[in-house]
Amino acid sequence: MSENSKELQELLIELEYGELDEIAAVEAQEQIDADPAMRAMQESFRAVRTDLHAVDEPEVSPSRIAFVTMPGQPAANTWSIWAKGAAVAASFAFGLLLAAAAANTFGLMPAMPGVDPALAGAPDATAETSFASMSQSEIQDYLDSRYARADAITTPVADMSPEELRPIVDDLWSEREQQWRGVVQQMLNVANRQQRDEIETLMAGMFQTFDAARTNDMLAVADELGILQQNTGAELQRNTQAIDYLFTRVGLDPTGQREQDND
């Protein structure tokens, strides 16, 4: 096999893609013609390139690409940029919310397709799972950073009694609810106008039924959507893990109810 030098290969590529001036192109073609293997390769390349251009261009769907042109949404501020990122999630969430509306209650959401049943329906189990991703010291550091300085709590959280922990749980719980309302509202805001009225109706119903017992369902949805991976979700994630941990310490289940003895 004749040796296709690297220079000749480069020359062939430059020639085929028209990045040589007229004189250089003529000289390059002469060199290629003098090498049968390179000449054959040139023909092969041309056949391949013809095939590559025989297929249609992918059509651009503007519905999700043109997010900056979403009606009524300014493009360049922190909120709207985050919200646009959530737009993708919102479109998916819309489908989930429709399913929820059909079921007429979020209490049925554990059965929703695509949602991890362990997350959606078994909060006790997930408390252990999610907590497992954080070390004891990470949980402690997080709680210390939130409470120890402000409230001069000197007792390590791990050593607190359930009675001492309860106010912290309530505080975190309230904050989580507020965060959730914010996330949902942002998703609502970025939905397009055609969907907005329908989503608002759904949201109104959802807020009415929103209570602590439903939070885990919503967390499952958000987790499925990947929202917890967003910056705004990171705090929520830590908060949730801390709550789960504290609930296990207080002896409550994550709905805020005291766990029932099975026996």
Which residues sit at the interface with another protein, rule CB under 8 A?
Answer: 1-2, 6, 9-10, 12-14, 17, 19, 36-37, 39-41, 43-45, 47-49, 51-58, 60-61, 64-69, 74-77, 81, 84-85, 87-88
Q: How far is the CB of 117 from another protein (least distance, A)?
A: 20
Q: Which is nearer to another protein, 47 or 118 (CB)?
A: 47
Collapsing DSSP states into helix, strand and coil, what is residue 34?
coil
- Residue 195's CB is within 10 A of a number of other CB atoms, namely 16
Question: Which of residues 33 and 170 has its CB atom nearest to another protein in the complex?
Answer: 33
C-beta of 29: minimal distance to another protein in Å? 15
CB of 49 to another protein, least distance (A): 7
- Tally the C-alpha atoms within 13 A of residue 168's C-alpha that lie toward its C-beta: 30
CA atoms within 13 A on the CB side of 114: 13
Q: Which residues of 76-115 are buried (b: 16+ CB within 10 A; e: fewer)?
A: eeeebeebbbbbebbbebbebbebbbeeeebeebbebeeb
- In angstroms, give the least distance from the CB of 164 to another protein: 41
Min. distance of Cβ 204 from another protein in angstroms?
Answer: 28
8 Å CB contact between 158 and 141 = no
Question: Are 163 and 202 contacting, i.e. CB atoms less than 8 angstroms apart?
Answer: no
Q: Which is nearer to another protein, 139 or 183 (CB)?
A: 183
CB nearer another protein, residue 38 or residue 119: 38
C-beta closer to another protein: residue 24 or 48:
48
Structure tokens at 258: 């005291």
